[in-house]
Homo-oligomer: A and B are copies of this chain.
Amino acid sequence: MSIQKDGKLNQIGTVTADHVAAEAGVSRWTVNRAFRQEASISAKSRKKVMEAAEKLGYVPDLLASSLRSERSNLVAVLVDDFANPHKLVMMERLTRILRKHGWDTLLVNMLGEADTSAALLSASQRRVDAAILIGIQFNEEVLATALGAQRVRKLIIFARDSENPNTISICCDDVGAMTAIADYVLNKGYRKPLFLAGPQTESAHLKRKDTFLELWRQNRGDLPASISVPFYDPLLAYERTADYLASHDRSDYPDVVVCENDALAMGAIDAIRFRFGLRVPQDIAVTGFDDVPQAASPNYRLTTYRQPISAMAEALVEVLKGNNDPAHLCGFLGEMIVRESA
């Protein structure tokens, strides 16, 4: 593919900065400078270098670059919950925006809580600039231990709030969001909500349930009922909702089920309709959270809340660049998406 200095054909066709330097009649370091924005280099030199690079098909080797420098321009995204379609949305946004700003993404499938340490190890062995957790099962304690042992430069919890002082959380304001939902539900005249929550783990968590219950109590005086499932799985939500309804008298049914996210909301809707033959929203209304693509389907027409994922991803980039004060990154506000389910 390309000829090396010694004339030998290189196995993977590598063209190095030295080749370009020889072609352009400059030094290797000038070639390097031509490929960075901030470098002090004359326009003329840069032009010469770029033409030579184009001609030879040179691109900088990010591996070698990462080895010598303190940056790899690589981040790891750790995911442990591929059942929730919202993960797909987050991955799409994160990878797109990270790539736009020059970062590549290492996708690490965390096989469970016990795998946290191994997953972080994988990331650290590639010298990622940061590890981003968009999972749910990681345990704060395991995390702290793993973090101490591994040389992960930054640990970012995305779309979730962590108590761990060594991590940076980027998430939306759960109080603000739940206030929007509670206001909507109240204004629509619902009076008997049931809260359907996800895993009640000790890991970085969502304050949505407690926030909603407290807001409701402040407004109406009574504390709504709540149920939960161990995973954000629509089928579990289906079963749990069905159990709840089956164990209550029709007169004790909620008039609205407020769900911690869309995955749960869709399961709840299915149960209300297919297990009890009731109508949504006429008999029981349902609200979600996330606005996954399926929420818009004619089946669900889900009233939900959309987090500003793109803005959150942009903030993450600022953190990577070191431009952001990590203290104020959990105040993002989204918007109510009103459809027909409530």
Contacts and interface: CB of A to CB of B under 8 A. Distances in A.
Interface in A65-123: 66-67, 70, 72, 74, 77, 82-83, 85, 87-89, 91-92, 95-96, 99, 104-109, 111, 121-122
B89 A88 contact: no
B107 A14 contact: no
B104 A99 contact: no
Contact of A107 (B106, B153, B293): B106
A297 B109 contact: no
Bin the interface of chain A by size: 35 or more
Contacts of A151: 1, 12-14
A83 B126 contact: no
Nearest to A92: B82
A11 B275 CA distance: 60
B88 A296 contact: no
A221 interface: no
A109 B104 contact: no
Given A60-B125, A109-B95, A125-B61, A70 B11 contact: yes
A60 B235 CA distance: 42
6 contacts: A82-B92, A85-B85, A85-B294, A95-B109, A96-B111, A238-B297
Interface of A: 1, 11-14, 57, 59-64, 66-67, 70, 72, 74, 77, 82-83, 85, 87-89, 91-92, 95-96, 99, 104-109, 111, 121-122, 124-127, 149, 151, 153, 234-235, 238, 266-267, 270-271, 273-275, 293-294, 296-299
